[in-house]
């Protein structure tokens, strides 16, 4: 087990599941999806690509412009801060989006319900 209480270290060490982000345009290479328009099959790890010919499908930058951003379901933020707060620091970016926009939708629903009062 890692310093994160309930998450194993295996996904962090298995580089074949890591996503890579282009620093030029922000495109994220997802190994489980591949890139259909350039013929890269789903399940192809970034390390298995031909680094001499691979280019970003959006901005055409080379493979040296990509940086490792880790596996898909890794909590966002700095690892030393994940144990602080009310538990939201260990949420993934998708879970944080649901929490934020869900709270906004609830606030709007409560505000609109005030119109039903006469």
| Structure confidence by residue, pLDDT tens digits, 87-108 | 666 777 778 889 899 999 999 9
Q: Which residue has the higher pLDDT, 118 or 64?
A: 64
Highest averaged pLDDT of the listed ranges 2-6, 62-66, 88-92, 108-112: 108-112
Name the CATH topology of 1-74.
Answer: Rubrerythrin, domain 2 (2.20.28)
Position of tokens 């192809």? 44
Cα 105 to Cα 33, 93, 114, 116: the distances in Å are 31, 18, 15, 17
Round the average pLDDT of the chain to a whole number and report it.
78
Q: Which residue has the higher pLDDT, 9 or 80?
A: 80
């Amino acid at each position: 087990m890692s310093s994160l209480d309930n998450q194993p270290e295996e996904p962090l060490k298995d580089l074949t599941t890591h996503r890579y982000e282009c620093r030029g345009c922000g495109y994220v290479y997802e190994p489980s999806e591949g890139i259909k328009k350039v013929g890269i099959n789903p399940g192809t790890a970034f390390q298995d690509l031909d680094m001499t010919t691979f280019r970003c499908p959006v901005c055409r930058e080379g493979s040296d412009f990509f940086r490792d951003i880790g596996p898909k379901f890794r909590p966002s933020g700095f690892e030393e801060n994940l144990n602080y707060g009310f538990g939201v620091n260990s949420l993934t970016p998708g879970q944080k989006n649901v929490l934020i926009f869900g709270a906004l939708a609830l606030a709007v629903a409560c505000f609109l319900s005030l119109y039903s009062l006469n």
